[in-house]
Structure 1
Amino acid sequence: MNLEPGNTYGLFGLNGAGKTTLLNHLSGMLFPEKGSCTMLGENVKKRLPETMSEIYILPEQFDLPKMSAEVYVELQAPFYPRFENDYLTEVLKEFQVDTQKNLTELSYGQRKKFLIGFALATHSKLVLMDEPTNGLDIPSKSQFRKIMAATDQSERCFLISTHQVRDLDSIIDHIIVLNDGKIIFQESVLKISERLSFEKITDESERTPLYSEDVFGGKAAILPKREGSKDTQIDLELLFNGIIQKQDLINNQFKN
């Protein structure tokens, strides 16, 4: 796997597939038994300060100390040389986070939004997020997508692990699928749109789908895209299920 700046990657997989483990390897909290994980040419397991300052990981489960947001920033921001406090203030205002309270007095969703804001304000080159929308209400999920879409990603890379695929379908441009600790699919959204078509069909005798699921009034299907046909909206849930159950069929569409 190779992650490039200027991209937001969606990392999908079944429970236990290895998503959190992969994030922990990328952030230097776990060491691989074989192979290597490098960031800007340096092996992450060395945990060099100049490497760690370019990585921020937002875990799914976390604890925050009993202190104000201001004190937390004073203690943590110096580890990130490009930290922008004004940007953090803007994000927290958008998220409607009460910065006057101690962090432990905030709800789980409010604490999550504070850490999302802090992650973005670090301006680190690699930002790893594990289930960032868990615990967020519907308006906050919309705010998250809005903030991510407005973030300058030209020199940054975001890898977001989630089961909530519909929360990310408008902001990711690459899809990575893990299964049993292995990457079984890795393609850009652009290439997926070029090779696959997502349609509702009623008769499989006309066109044989690569994968389909029963829905009201027919089947939701993944089909090889016909030359000259229009792009269709990618159904991430359908695509994920198709990759898990028809891995070879789906991947064969990207070999040429």
Structure 2
Amino acid sequence: MIQVQNLDFSYPKKPQLFSKLNWESSTGNIIGMLGKNGAGKSSFLRILAGLLFPDNGQLSVLGFSPEERASAFLQEVFFVPNENYLPGHLSAERYRQILQPFYPRFDGETFSQLLDRFEVNSQEKIKNLSFGQQKKVGLAMALSSGCALILLDEPTNGLDISGKSAFRKELISVLSEDQTVIIATHLIRDLENTLDRVMILDQGQIKLDADLSDLADSLHFGISQSAVPDAIFSQSSALGVQFIQARTTQAQTVVNLELLFEGVTSGVPIASFLSKTNSLTT
């Protein structure tokens, strides 16, 4: 579905953001792209969507070159930015009526159901909705679009606890097996129990790219009251010492995404401990 080869990108008069970046993805995954603020997550999504153009390298998304902005490509990609982009003078329902014809598999019934579950009035003008409610309208649009590729930039930013829970639930239930979602976020806890795959972007490079199942098979996550001698990575917390070990005979544990992120961005070569690694660029 996506192939990125030797991609270079920089903004004018700023240091290079990506240099010789390589990555690829197949169909049917919910992928979490984790990174600190300023790591380039939003820029990467915009490059995939054809809104920013790489300086060098090769990029293929759904068999298209995104920067050409072909109509057949645009019909299959839905991008929800972090900032508010919705037309405030329209209601969510009216905006749906205008947008739906552009997407061949848009499901209007699903859109209405999602707004009900998100507790958003579809007839209220968007400008009168809170930031969180506006974000829910955009997410409902994306999840109803039927697009092969959905790009979400900080989708839980502005949502309250119940809104985040509803988003996670609907994300899993609404998507079909032939759709791929890439979620860029620094709010790591908000993605728990939703991801199939995680990629960690740091200092302009993808430092880790792996399936959650492989991480759970290969690594053991735990908490101890004292230091663990054979830990790959550890850090103190209010509960004790959180640690990551290479898994041997231990029972499988839930992947602690926050601890994994801290380990990778601290320079720990987590990928070397995995039984099988997807694309990895260091």
Structure with bigger strand share is 2
Deviation larger for 118-127 or 38-47: 38-47
1:230 correspondence with 2:256: no
> How far did residue 111 of structure 1 move?
0.7
1:135 correspondence with 2:158: yes
What letter is aligned with 1:38?
A: S
Contact 2:143 2:175 in 1 (8 A): no
What letter is aligned with 2:38?
A: G
Q: TM-score, normalised by structure 2?
A: 0.86
Q: Distance in 2 between matches of 1:67 and 1:209?
A: 55
Contact 1:210 1:246 in 2 (8 A): no
The one of 120, 144, 159 aligned to 2:143: 120
Alignment partner, residue 48 of structure 2: 26
> How far did residue 6 of structure 1 move?
1.5
Q: TM-score, normalised by structure 1?
A: 0.95
The one of 229, 236, 239 aligned to 2:260: 239
Q: Deviations over 1:108-158 (max 9, x none)?
A: 111110110000111100000001011111111111111112123301000
RMSD value, Cα: 1.4
Q: SS at the partner of 2:25?
A: coil
Q: Deviations over 1:200-256 (max 9, x none)?
A: 12343x632111011245310011101x321011111100000011332x1211276
Q: Distance in 2 between matches of 1:181 and 1:153?
A: 31
Structure 1 runs (4+) deviating above 6 angstroms are: none
Contact 1:56 1:128 in 2 (8 A): yes
> How far did residue 91 of structure 1 move?
0.5
What letter is aligned with 2:90?
A: M
- Structure 2 gaps of 5+ residues are 1-22, 277-282
1:174 correspondence with 2:197: yes
1:69 correspondence with 2:81: no
Q: Distance in 1 between matches of 2:174 and 2:93?
A: 22
1:81 correspondence with 2:104: yes
Q: Deviations over 1:64-84 (max 9, x none)?
A: 221122221122112111111
Q: Distance in 2 between matches of 1:61 and 1:241?
A: 26
- Structure 1 gaps of 5+ residues are none
Deviation larger for 143-152 or 118-127: 143-152
Deviation larger for 19-28 or 76-85: 76-85
Q: 1:100 to 1:217 in 2, by over 3 A?
A: closer
Higher RCO, 1 or 2 (CA under 8 Å, sep at least 6)? 1
Q: Distance in 2 between matches of 1:240 and 1:31?
A: 28
Q: 1:255 to 1:190 in 2, by over 3 A?
A: closer
1:99 correspondence with 2:119: no
1:155 correspondence with 2:178: yes
